[in-house]
Amino acid sequence: METTFSAIKADVGSVAGHHVVPEELEESAISVLEEAKGKDIFDYFVTHCGDDLELIITHDKGEESEEVYEIAWNAFLKATEKAKELGLYGAGQDLLSDAFSGNIKGLGPGIAEMEFKERKSNPVFTFMMDKTEPGAFNLPMYKIFADPFNTAGLVLDPNMHSGFVFEVWDIKESKKINFYCPDDLYDMLALIGAKSRYVIKRAYPKEDNPKANPQEPAAVISTEKLSHIAGEYVGKDDPVAVVRGQSGLPAAGEILEPFTHPELVSGWMKGSHNGPLMPVPVEDAAPTRFDGPPRAICLGFQVKDGMLIGPVDSFADPAFDKAREKAHQVSDYMRAHGPFEPHRLPEEEMEYTTLPDVMEKINHRFEDMD
């Protein structure tokens, strides 16, 4: 059975600033998806990560389905209407058009989706982040699919021993390149360490993996950058990712392990600061300290005949408590820098925030030096 798993998100309004999506908005989205269930889609789940409304949808329409995208768009629109009715902050912020044009891409929402042939057992993990950018997934995806110190299966499992293929996008030049790891590992690291420009879009099994179809991605990440779409800063990109596991792919524990390290990511307040990525349960995905620090949640599902079993709130495990404590310590250290780098982003990245408005105000006061 061919199943498409789509994770689609948008910031359409939140309570008390950029903090949390209220239940009323989730209920509005659910009403649209419930009407489509059993007719146009198999199943769905609605949640939030911070101020982002998250839609998880299964169907048999394949990737980039106009029909499914329109359903998601209508769900976001109905939630936006409720947000405006309640006077919520940033109502409809990520919807950059008033009308659906056949493809939700380029209209603001972030999308990560994959089509795969269902196996006997299909664990699928959906990661959602708030107050950061798509490149925040670069380090975890590298660890999951290329680092044997994280993923023992790369050494011990003959099905994974030859490694994985990474599709990396240059989101500044709109180009892409495939890296065949471990052979191309150092070349890939030379790029993906610059995570504001080069982002991992997909990871595939290699051809000689007998248990996993090399045509079906093992992971896919949303790569939409709102600043490039809108031409101005309208919020950080808050990416989502979908990762399949087990049976020729990394095990569940190997998929989750990278998040025990609260890596520094770009985003936080006004999308203009570096801070630690804190893995949290859904109930704690309400970033308020300096509008942060950046958060990550993960929901684990089983997919059977297109239906969703679960989810498991993967980061609710107390084993991630130390990562959260470390993120608190790193937050204190970074915040002590105030408006100075490296807490504040470097100037070339600040051009996508509100800093250019400040520079325009004072540019006329610059004088040539003798």
Radius of gyration of the chain (CA): 20
Q: Which of 9, 11, 204, 237 is catalytic?
A: 11
**CB atoms inside a 10 Å sphere around CB 289:** 12
Rounded to an integer, what distance in angstroms lies between the CA atom of residue 352 and that of residue 226?
10
Q: Which of 44, 69, 233, 352 is catalytic?
A: 233
Residue 11 annotated as catalytic: yes
Q: Which of 78, 143, 201, 236 is catalytic?
A: 236
**CB atoms inside a 10 Å sphere around CB 64:** 16
Long-range pairs for 23-30: beta carbons < 8 A, 24 or more residues apart: 24/82, 24/86, 25/53, 25/79, 25/82, 25/83, 25/88, 26/53, 26/79, 28/75, 28/78, 28/79, 28/81, 28/82, 29/53, 29/55, 29/75, 29/76, 29/78, 29/79
Do 211 and 248 touch, CB atoms closer than 8 A?
Answer: yes
Residue 180 annotated as catalytic: no
Helices and strands (H, E) in the chain, number of each type: 10, 15
SS3 167: strand
SS3 327: helix
- Kind plus residue range of the DSSP H or E element containing 324: helix 321-335
**Catalytic center residues:** 11, 233, 236
